[in-house]
Amino acid sequence: MHRFLIVVEKAGKNYSAYSPDLPGCVATGKTREETEHRMHEAIALHVKGLIEDGLPIPQSHASAAFVAVQ
């Protein structure tokens, strides 16, 4: 199993998502939930394509953290 960080952003009236470890793998949706679901599908398709092409699946190196300031 492979795990990849995704970043979901509000983009006007919709949402967009990407994974820092999978350049070019993106998704959009009307809701955060729809966008996350579509991103899951996009990553699965991306990884399947890499396997079919005999290319390595990148290791996930991205991480995220919140920083609180006043």
> Tens of pLDDT along 10-55?
999 999 999 999 999 999 999 999 999 999 999 999 999 999 999 9
**Cα–chain center distance at 35:** 9
What are the beta bridge partners of residue 16? 9, 28
CA 37 to chain centre: 10
Q: CA 33 to CA 15: how far, in whole Å?
A: 9
Look up the pTM and report it: 0.89
Domains in the chain, please, with CATH? 1-70 (3.30.160.250)
Q: Is 22 exposed, middle or buried (0-12, 13-18, 19+ CB in 10 A)?
A: buried
